[in-house]
Amino acid sequence: MAGWHLGVIGGSGLYQPGVLEDAQEIAVRSAFGEPSGPVLTGTLPGTGGAVRCSFIARHGAGHRLPPSAVNYRANIDVLKRCGVTDVVAISAVGSLREELAPGDFVVPDQFIDRTVGRERSFFGAGVVAHVAFADPVCPRLAGMLAEASAASGPPAHRGGCYVAIEGPQFSTRAESQLFRRWGADVIGMTAMPEARLAREAELPYALLAMVTDYDCWREGEAPVDVESVLRVMRGNADRARETLRRLAALLPAERAASPIDRALDGAIITPRKHWDGQLVARLDAIAGRLLRSTPADPA
């Protein structure tokens, strides 16, 4: 049993949490390059006392980073270095379903990854790992997040599939229709590889998806544009902050262990005698628990 420490990744429209008490900004260095910016750490009122919360803006100050330029590895790495136990990501999305209207919130439980060219793993040549990812979202955290979202102002939807595209352009009408046939419910540009990396870092992950538009699958409607997206995002930001406040209040006083806390158990396939020392050093925060405790392989 241990305490909660929420890591919050703010997406488009939420560059400051605005709800933290005793907040202070700290610069945290990553072994995987430059993160999107400093970490703002503070507390939120919880049922069992103050809940530690560390926040990073995914796109940086002034939204200077497009989705493909975000250093997702560094962002997850610095949150892990801050002692975060669970990650809540916030992201603007387009809707691929009539019932998911602009202004609605969705807590997806599945992902389709259509991104290309992004670093998808902390591991690689010298230390190879294959982490289970069939169920990419933590059901405990997602359940509480959906409950907090519903309490902050309906409508909120639990479950659904998020398709991640590379961007920065919005999708074509043909792509939008294809994603609907695939069973995707919302579309965005940032949840992947973010969720993958959180799993490798043994951090339970849940996503609060804020619907801003209907993408472009509806026949006869104007295509998505930034102005309309921003208009809805401004209305969503305050509700996202209220959701964070309510989530902290829902957390049990003590945090029971999650299976995701040990997601790397059995995942590293490279024998210890073949590990690359430089990569092992970079993995000190992400996989230090396992790398320090794994006994030497037999000769």
Separation of alpha carbons 31 and 78, rounded Å:
9
113 counts as catalytic: no
50 near 12, Cβ under 8 Å? no
Specify the DSSP element, H or E, that contains 209. strand 205-213
Q: Exactly one of 22, 215, 225, 238 is catalytic; which is it?
A: 215
Contacts 24+ apart (CB under 8 A), 112-115: 112/161, 112/162, 112/163, 112/164, 112/179, 112/182, 112/184, 113/164, 113/192, 113/193, 113/196, 114/163, 114/164, 114/165, 114/166, 115/68, 115/164, 115/165, 115/166, 115/189, 115/192, 115/193
Question: How far is CA 147 from its chain centroid?
Answer: 18
Type of residue numbered 69: A
Q: For the chain, what is the radius of gyration of the CA atoms?
A: 19
Q: Exactly one of 22, 213, 261, 276 is catalytic; which is it?
A: 213
Separation of alpha carbons 75 and 81, rounded Å:
10
213 counts as catalytic: yes
Separation of alpha carbons 154 and 150, rounded Å:
5
92 near 229, Cβ under 8 Å? yes
- Token pair of 273, please? 């005698």
Separation of alpha carbons 101 and 41, rounded Å:
33
The label of the residue with tokens 């870092």 reads 201
Residues annotated as part of the active site:
213, 215
